[in-house]
Amino acid sequence: MRELGFEIQESRLMPEVFGSWWIRAIAEGKSLRVVWDGRDATLVIQRPSLSGNLSQWGDRWIAGERYAHKTRELREGLLSVLRADG
């Protein structure tokens, strides 16, 4: 994420929830969150709600069930979310 210009703001690992985790980052003045759903093996890129409330997030890009850590796919997803909202 850093090589794409993202600055990591916060992250959290939740081993008790099937190894799920999330990373909150900012790029070009836009916040987003990358979430790994360990139960469903799904990667999601989220943006804050329209209110800007960082406790409410909406899905913008989902790497389908059983995502296999494809770096290129994640890179394209991050860039598409940035472009779509800007």
Q: Who contacts 5 (Cβ-Cβ below 8 Å, separation ≥6)? A: 27, 28
Quick one: pLDDT at residue 64? 66
Tell me the C-alpha distance between 6 and 32, whole Å.
9
User: Where do the domains of the chain lie?
Assistant: 2-84
- Per-residue pLDDT of 22-73, as tens digits, reads 999 998 888 899 998 888 888 899 999 887 677 899 888 887 666 666 677 7
Quick one: pLDDT at residue 4? 81
Quick one: pLDDT at residue 20? 93
Query: What is the reported pTM?
Result: 0.80
Pairing of strands 42-48, 30-37: antiparallel
